[in-house]
Copies of this chain bind each other. A is one copy, B any other.
Amino acid sequence: MSELTMQEKGMSAKKAAITLSALDESQRNEALKAIAEALNTHRKEIAEANRRDIARSKEEQLAAPLLSRLIFDYNEIDGVIEGIASLITLPDPLGHITLATELDEGLDLYRVTSPIGVIGVIFESRPDAFVQIATLCLKSGNAILLKGGREALETNRILYEVISEASEKAGVPHGWIQNMESRDEVTEMLALSDCIDLIIPRGSNEFVKYIMDHSNIPVMGHSDGICHLYIDGDADLEKALAIAVDSKTQYIAACNTLETLLVHRDVASRFLPEVFSALQNKGVEVRGDEAVRNIVPTETATEEDFKTEYLDLILSIKVVDHLQDAIDHINTYGSGHTDAIVTENTEAQKTFLALVDSACVFVNCSTRFSDGFRFGFGAEVGISTSKIHARGPVGLDGLISYKYQLIGHGDRVAPYADGEKTFTHRPLENKKPF
């Protein structure tokens, strides 16, 4: 394979995107099936490439948690093949008519879902992400430029070769998937606003901000995940304890992990000793404000703590006087990711859902549910804390745009501007362009 420049990769993807957008559902699903079969056929070479990546990364003294995320063995390959099978069963996100209006007799307007076009994704060192992102994009008719972690270089390279060969044999236009292997290519990609429609950076807050600062292309990414759980005065404290422990400790390093617990004054003296002891048993360091420390012997939580995404066995706790206090704290210190309330009071539930300005607002359940798989989206390309385009876990729905299609019979604007004709603007029921 001759090496393309980044500009050529972008142009090739843009060209392929047009044809790809017009493939029908069965063609895209057939290509997904071909990819799953090819991954199965080439599992030996893939696993070998991955073992070389792991050996090299060990020599380079990669940290143990990162090493474990790098593993892509037969078990992991089975996982992504299963994932593709379930992606095939999901409804087609393209071609849905989301608005249909008769502008006037014989002049019908339709808004039809369509792919975004070309998406650039920069992601961490998990090879399963390579397959998930590529197949989500194919299912939604988008061309894709992928840049994985340097640690997974050989694994990603063979995954790219297997996926592009299988899909192109199955009729997907050549060039729809492009692999990037260097940071320079990422830098060059940020300038390709002529051929790339969206960049999705996965990684640290600083990294996402860096991408936003250095590109004119729209960016879909999340900033911090500073998630809150508020235990209301009318909470069922048994539920509250289970949810708090799950939200903080079920997986410590995720963006939907709990970072600050807010407790209503009325239940603080009953709830805090219980939750403090349960968290200590799980190895969590608790930091409390003065009211908390008057009840349980925690470390001190400072203003800085409430602004921090620990991604670690640390939790800050604050006592609040009422629901509005909790909401104000969340809207001030939170990152608009995921925030939950525990209460049996329906009015408090409604107020919390209405006034907390976050992508995911939960009632009586763990913040850890905030995830594309758990939400039933098949997979996710990331979680968005922006309120533009997609918000929260982003699955297929976040990878689509739409077109307006207007079907007329020689219609001119002049008669409407001159007042000879008027628009009917009548909703069209069950009508299609063709």
A residues at B contact (CB < 8 Å): 17-19, 21-22, 99, 101, 103, 107, 109, 116-117, 197-198, 209, 212-213, 216, 218, 220, 236, 238-239, 242-243, 245-246, 250-251, 331, 346, 349-350, 353-355, 357-366, 368-370, 374-376, 386-389, 391-393, 397, 401-414, 416-417, 423, 425, 433-434
Contacts and interface: CB of A to CB of B under 8 A. Distances in A.
A350 B405 CA distance: 10
Contacts of A414: 246, 250
Contacts of A391: 401-404
- By Cβ-Cβ distance, the 5 closest A-B pairs, closest first, are A365-B408, A239-B410, A246-B412, A376-B425, A368-B413
A197 to B, nearest CB: 5
B218 A412 contact: no
Given A250-B412, A364-B407, A410-B364, A388 B417 contact: no
A403 B359 contact: yes
Contact of A101 (B346, B376, B386, B402): B376
A156 to B, nearest CB: 26
B403 A361 contact: yes
A343 to B, nearest CB: 12
A81 to B, nearest CB: 19
A278 to B, nearest CB: 13
A376 B413 contact: no
A409 B364 contact: yes
12 contacts: A18-B331, A99-B397, A243-B412, A346-B434, A360-B406, A361-B406, A362-B408, A363-B405, A364-B407, A365-B409, A365-B412, A366-B413
A246 B413 contact: yes
Given A354-B21, A434-B346, A359 B404 contact: yes
Nearest to A417: B250
Nearest to A197: B387
Count of identical protomers in the assembly? 2
Contacts of A404: 359-361, 370, 375, 391-393
B361 A405 contact: yes
Q: Which residue among A218, A236, A417 has the maximum number of chain B CB atoms within 10 Å of its CB?
A: A218
Q: Which residue among A375, A392, A403 has the maximum number of chain B CB atoms within 10 Å of its CB?
A: A403
A358 B404 CA distance: 9
B250 A357 contact: no
A212 B357 CA distance: 25
B406 A365 contact: yes
Given A103-B374, A197-B388, 17 more contacts: A21-B354, A103-B375, A197-B386, A250-B412, A250-B413, A250-B414, A353-B433, A359-B403, A361-B403, A363-B405, A364-B407, A364-B411, A365-B406, A365-B411, A388-B388, A391-B401, A393-B404
Contacts of A407: 349, 362-365
Contacts of A109: 375-376
A406 B117 contact: no
A353 B363 CA distance: 44
Nearest to A387: B401
A24 to B, nearest CB: 10
A400 B116 CA distance: 19
Contacts of A408: 362-366, 369
A355 to B, nearest CB: 6
Nearest to A112: B353
A220 B116 CA distance: 15
A331 to B, nearest CB: 6
Contacts of A251: 413, 417
Nearest to A418: B250
Given A197-B388, A364-B410, A434-B350, A209 B216 contact: yes
